[in-house]
């Protein structure tokens, strides 16, 4: 079964996979007490498979064909889980970076220029160490800038939602929520609130 969705059909098996499965079952019947050494067992299976005739392999080919039919049929009936991943809106505003990411974008070129040939992993490690060694007051400008970018992002995002959603009732609620978050007052009329979003 797939990790993400337990309802997703089991993957199709190859002829060789059916052969190995059969060998394992035979081994268990003959030697139920003996544990299987996987590396050794795989090697023996591989050697045996190479020496088999086409006629001997045909039984496993048939099993694989039948399993492919089963898999294709199950996949046809299978639809992704409800509430699965939503399609990304190509027009949606880009999420703002965190304070740490703003710091990284400033210092990454400096690290690369002073350490030519440094790996991406080492650059990330160095940036993490540098950030952790900063005092709170040194981190503050990046955190403040990130907060301003987030505020701007939220405003653009909510305005987009207000424009996109049809029904006036929902639109009114979203516009009102946006306005209240920014101005903390509920005294404006419905038309004044939505006018601010459509401007």
* Last residue within a domain, chosen from 127, 146, 165: 146
108 and 64 in a single domain? The answer is no
Q: Identify the domain containing residue 107 by its residue range.
A: 94-146
Cβ-Cβ contacts under 8 Å for 160 (sequence gap 6 or more)? 91, 92, 93
pTM (2 d.p.): 0.40
Classify residue 35: in a domain, yes or no.
yes
Q: What is the mean pLDDT of each run of 10 residues along the chain (199 residues)?
A: 66 86 83 78 86 88 88 76 59 82 90 87 89 91 90 74 50 53 47 47
Classify residue 129: in a domain, yes or no.
yes
64 and 99 in a single domain? The answer is no
66 and 19 in a single domain? The answer is yes
Alpha carbons 120 and 122: distance in angstroms, whole number: 5
Q: What is the Cα 63 distance to its own chain's centre? A: 34
pLDDT for position 1: 41
pLDDT for position 38: 76
pLDDT for position 20: 86
Per-residue tokens: 38: 């996987």
* Last residue within a domain, chosen from 77, 102, 121: 77
* Last residue within a domain, chosen from 77, 104, 122: 77
Number of domains making up the chain: 2
pLDDT for position 168: 47
Cβ-Cβ contacts under 8 Å for 33 (sequence gap 6 or more)? none
DSSP state of 52: -
pLDDT for position 164: 52
Alpha carbons 192 and 190: distance in angstroms, whole number: 6
Per-residue tokens: 10: 């089991």
Classify residue 171: in a domain, yes or no.
no
Classify residue 72: in a domain, yes or no.
yes
DSSP state of 3: S
69 and 110 in a single domain? The answer is no
Cβ-based neighbour number of residue 60 at 10 Å: 21
Classify residue 181: in a domain, yes or no.
no
Is residue 20 within 8 A of residue 48, CB to CB? The reply is no
69 and 102 in a single domain? The answer is no
SS3 147: helix
Per-residue tokens: 16: 């060789």
Taking Cα atoms as reference points, which of 129, 126, 139 lies closest to residue 98?
Answer: 139
* H or E element, residue 91: none
36 and 62 in a single domain? The answer is yes
Alpha carbons 168 and 181: distance in angstroms, whole number: 20
Classify residue 68: in a domain, yes or no.
yes
Is residue 92 within 8 A of residue 157, CB to CB? The reply is yes
pLDDT for position 31: 79
Q: How far apart are the first and last CA of the chain?
A: 51
20 and 72 in a single domain? The answer is yes
| CATH at residue 121 | 1.10.30.10
23 and 51 in a single domain? The answer is yes
């Amino acid at each position: 079964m797939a990790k993400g969705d337990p309802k997703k059909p089991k993957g199709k098996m190859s002829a060789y996979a059916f052969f190995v499965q059969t060998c394992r079952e035979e081994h268990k019947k003959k030697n139920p007490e003996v544990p299987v050494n996987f590396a050794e067992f795989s090697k023996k299976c591989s050697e045996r498979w190479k020496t088999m005739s086409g006629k001997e392999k045909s039984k496993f080919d048939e099993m694989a064909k039948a399993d492919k039919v089963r898999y294709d049929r199950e996949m046809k009936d299978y639809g992704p889980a409800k509430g699965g991943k939503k399609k990304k809106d190509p027009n949606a505003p880009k999420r703002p970076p965190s304070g740490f990411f703003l710091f990284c974008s400033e210092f990454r070129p400096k690290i690369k220029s002073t350490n030519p040939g440094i790996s991406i992993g080492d650059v990330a490690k160095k940036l993490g160490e540098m950030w952790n060694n900063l005092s709170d007051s040194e981190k503050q400008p990046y955190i403040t800038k990130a907060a301003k970018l987030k505020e701007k992002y939220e405003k653009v995002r909510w305005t987009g939602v207000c424009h996109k959603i049809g029904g006036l009732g929902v639109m009114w609620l979203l516009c009102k929520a946006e306005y209240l978050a920014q101005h903390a007052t509920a005294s404006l009329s419905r038309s004044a609130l939505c006018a601010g979003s459509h401007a």
